[in-house]
Amino acid sequence: ELKVEQNPLFLSMQEGKNYTIYCNYSTTSDRLYWYRQDPGKSLESLFVLLSNGAVKQEGRLMASLDTKARLSTLHITAAVHDLSATYFCAVDHTGTASKLTFGTGTRLQVTL
């Protein structure tokens, strides 16, 4: 059974600071997604990482994938309040129809 774990589960950080969210998964996968969810809202796609060593950046967020270590990171640079949300990584099961298993989620709170 595929397990996807994120840490930390909750992160409170000040504006302007940097931090990294980690996503570990238990079985082989070549595709990993990061989603953002605001309270009471749906999921917004941030990144899709398709191969070992993939790195993608959008604004203050940068995601990377190490398939050998079964690890993805979401790095936040110079956080701003608008980044406050819950961030989920999701792993696609290799060899099957696209079936996402989501991580536990990291609730990010950026304070002034």
Partner 1 sequence: DAMVIQNPRYQVTQFGKPVTLSCSQTLNHNVMYWYQQKSSQAPKLLFHYYDKDFNNEADTPDNFQSRRPNTSFCFLDIRSPGLGDAAMYLCATSYGVDETQYFGPGTRLLVL
Query: Is position 2 an interface residue for partner 1 (rule: CB under 8 A)?
Result: no
Part of the chain binding partner 1 (CB under 8 A), chosen from 18-26, 62-70, 73-81, 92-100: 92-100
Part of the chain binding partner 1 (CB under 8 A), chosen from 11-19, 53-61, 67-75, 102-110: 102-110
- Region 61-90 residues binding partner 1, contact defined as CB under 8 A: 88
Q: Which residue has the tokens 């709170």?
A: 109
Tokens at residue 44, please? 């917004």
- Region 23-52 residues binding partner 1, contact defined as CB under 8 A: 31, 33, 35, 40-45, 48
89-99 CB burial, b ≥16 within 10 A, e <16: bbbbeeeeeee
Q: Integer distance in angstroms from the first to the last C-alpha of the chain?
A: 41
Q: What's the sign of the alpha-carbon dihedral 41, 85, 105, 12?
A: negative
Binding residues for partner 1, rule: CB under 8 A, are 31, 33, 35, 40-45, 48, 88, 96-105
